[in-house]
Amino acid sequence: MEFMPTGIPGLVRFRPTPHRDERGFFSRTFDAEVARDAGVDPDSFVQDSMSRSALGVVRALHLRVGRGEAKLVRCSHGRIFDVVVDLRPGSPTYGRWESFDLDGDTQESIYIPAGCAHGFQALTDPADTSYRIDREHDPSEALTIAWDDPELAIPWPLPPTVMSEADRAALPMSQLRDRLGDVQATHHP
C-alpha cells in the first residue's frame, strides 16, 4: 500500500495493491504503519460505518463544525464520485474542492481531515461506501452544504436520482457563513 498527497493539505489518498487471481482479488484496505507515514493517527478512529446507495444517489456535502471530524472513506463495492471541500479557516486551499473516483476494484481510500466537507454520488447500483470516523456522531455539530452550490460548481456526473430531505434542503455556503465560522482548523481528539 502506498499513499499520495493531494492538492489539499492533509487530504491523503491511499492506494493498495490488490492481489488478483482466478478467484478474484485480496486487498489490504488499511495499514496502520502506512497511515502513520502519511501523518494519519491510526489509533484515532472510533467508529466504522457503511452506506449503500442506488445509482445516481447524491449524499450531499456533510461537515461537522466545532472540533470537526476526520474520516477515512472507501468505496468497498461499486463506484462513486467522491468530493471533498476544504472549509478550514486560514487554509491556503479554503473553498477549493477535489474529486476522486473510488471503486470496489481498486479499493483506494481517502483520508479527509477535520474541517473538510464530504459528499459523493453513486455511479453504480449499488455502491457501498465505508467510513472510518474519529469521533462519535453529534447531530448538533452537523452541517450540510447544498450539493448544487453555485459557488462550488461541482460537476456531478449524473442527474441526482434520490437524496435525503435534509440534503435536498441544504443551503449554499453563501447562506452558511456564520456556521462555517465555527469550523476549527485542527482536530483535537
Cα 40 from chain centre? 15
Give a yes or no: residue 188 inside a domain. Answer: no
pLDDT for res 189 = 33
Of 43-47, 75-79, 178-182, least confident by mean pLDDT is: 178-182
Give a yes or no: residue 131 inside a domain. Answer: yes
107: CATH: 2.60.120.10
pTM over 0.85: yes
Name the residue range of residue 101's domain: 2-180
pLDDT for res 188 = 32
| pLDDT bracket for residue 184 (50, 70, 90) | low
Give a yes or no: residue 163 inside a domain. Answer: yes
94 catalytic residue (yes or no): no
Give a yes or no: residue 185 inside a domain. Answer: no
pLDDT greater than 60 at residue 186 = no
Query: What separation in angstroms does the CA of 46 have from each of 14, 70, 172?
Result: 19, 11, 30
| pLDDT bracket for residue 66 (50, 70, 90) | confident
Give a yes or no: residue 187 inside a domain. Answer: no
Give a yes or no: residue 176 inside a domain. Answer: yes
Give a yes or no: residue 118 inside a domain. Answer: yes
| pLDDT bracket for residue 67 (50, 70, 90) | confident
Give a yes or no: residue 167 inside a domain. Answer: yes
Catalytic residue among 19, 62, 94, 137: 62
Catalytic residue among 77, 131, 187, 188: 131
pLDDT for res 137 = 86
Number of domains making up the chain: 1
Considering the chain, what is the average pLDDT of its residues?
Answer: 94
**Three-class DSSP category at 177:** helix
